[in-house]
Amino acid sequence: MRIQSELPNISQISRLEAKPEIQLDFAHLMKDVLTAVNAKIQSADQAAVLLANGQMEIHNAVIMAEKASLALQLTIAIRNKVLEAYQEIMRMQV
What pLDDT, in 10s, does the model give residues 7-66? 555 555 555 555 666 677 888 998 999 999 999 999 999 999 999 999 999 999 999 999
Report whether 9 contacts 33 (CB < 8 A). Answer: no
Please report whether residue 17 resides in a domain: no
| Domain count for the chain | 1
Indicate whether 5 belongs to any domain.
no
C-alpha 77/C-alpha 61 separation (Å) is: 24
Write down the pLDDT at residue 57: 97
Tens-place pLDDT, residues 41-58: 999 999 999 999 999 999
Please check whether residue 10 lies inside any domain of the structure: no
